[in-house]
Amino acid sequence: MAKIGTVRAGNTRSCGCLGREQGPLNFHNEGHLAYAEDPEYAARESLLYLVEICGSVDKIGIAFDLESRFQSHEVTEIWWTNTMSRAECWAVEQVALNYTLSNKVKNPPENLKRGGVTELREGLIIDETICLLEELCDEAKELGWREFYDKNLL
The string of pLDDT tens digits covering residues 57-92 is 999 999 998 877 776 678 889 999 999 999 999 999
> How many other C-beta atoms lie within 10 A of the C-beta of residue 80?
16
113 vs 73: which has the higher pLDDT? 73
pLDDT, residue 17, reads 52
Average pLDDT, the chain: 84
Phi then psi for residue 105, to 5 deg, are -70, 125
d(CA 14, CA 20): 13
- What are the CA-CA distances from residue 14 to residues 51, 54, 77, 97 (Å)? 22, 26, 28, 12
Burial class (CB in 10 A: 0-12, 13-18, 19+), 57: buried
74 vs 114: which has the higher pLDDT? 74
In this structure, is residue 28 part of a structural domain?
no
In this structure, is residue 23 part of a structural domain?
no
In this structure, is residue 115 part of a structural domain?
yes
pTM equals: 0.80
CA angle 151, 87, 15 (to 5 degrees): 70
In this structure, is residue 91 part of a structural domain?
yes
Report the SS3 class of residue 45: strand
Question: How many structural domains is the chain composed of?
Answer: 1
Q: Which domain holds residue 52?
A: 45-153
